[in-house]
Amino acid sequence: MGIRVAVAGASGYAGGELLRLLAGHPDLEIGAVTAGTSAGKPITAIHPNLTGHPAFDGRDFQPTDLGTLGNAELIFMALPHGESAALARELPDSRPRGPRPPPAAMQRRPSSPWPRCSAPAS
């Protein structure tokens, strides 16, 4: 199949929209679908618009924890304010390691070569 994805915080509006969009993507396989207080409830009970989709029928929301999300290659976070950042800090860093860019490349970019537009004088 495709890339295995997870959605953390899928019981809210943004999470439901993510599920709807991901369900139609041919290159993605939906893995963990997690929620906080809705853990254990059927996905289609919270998002009835997903009824009939094979990825969601008969599935319940799982608790949002590292063990549940750990099998995904890509995690979408739709958690309440601040919770996504806190969970992201706990996830293992799986960025590819390569040569670091030289320090000069990491400095602030030079100013734009395009002239600034000024408002017409009134």
Short-list 58, 68, 4, 5, CA closest to 36 = 68
Q: Is residue 109 part of a domain?
A: no
d(CA 18, CA 12): 10
Give me the DSSP letters along 10-38. Answer: TTSHHHHHHHHHHHT-TTEEEEEEEESTT
Per-residue pLDDT of the chain (122 residues; tens, 9 = 90+): 689 999 999 999 999 999 999 998 989 999 999 999 999 999 999 999 999 999 899 999 999 998 899 889 999 999 988 898 888 888 877 666 666 666 665 555 556 555 555 555 55
Domain that holds residue 19: 3-90
Q: Is residue 95 part of a domain?
A: no
The pLDDT value recorded for residue 56 is 93
The pLDDT value recorded for residue 90 is 86
The pLDDT value recorded for residue 119 is 52
The model's pTM: 0.74
Domains of the chain: total: 1
The pLDDT value recorded for residue 122 is 52
The pLDDT value recorded for residue 89 is 85
Q: Is residue 122 part of a domain?
A: no
The pLDDT value recorded for residue 4 is 93
Which residues, other chains included, contact 74 with Cβ-Cβ below 8 Å and sequence gap of 6+?
3, 4, 5, 6
Q: Is residue 54 part of a domain?
A: yes
**Which CATH number belongs to the domain containing residue 30 in this structure?**
3.40.50.720
Q: Is residue 100 part of a domain?
A: no
Q: Is residue 12 part of a domain?
A: yes
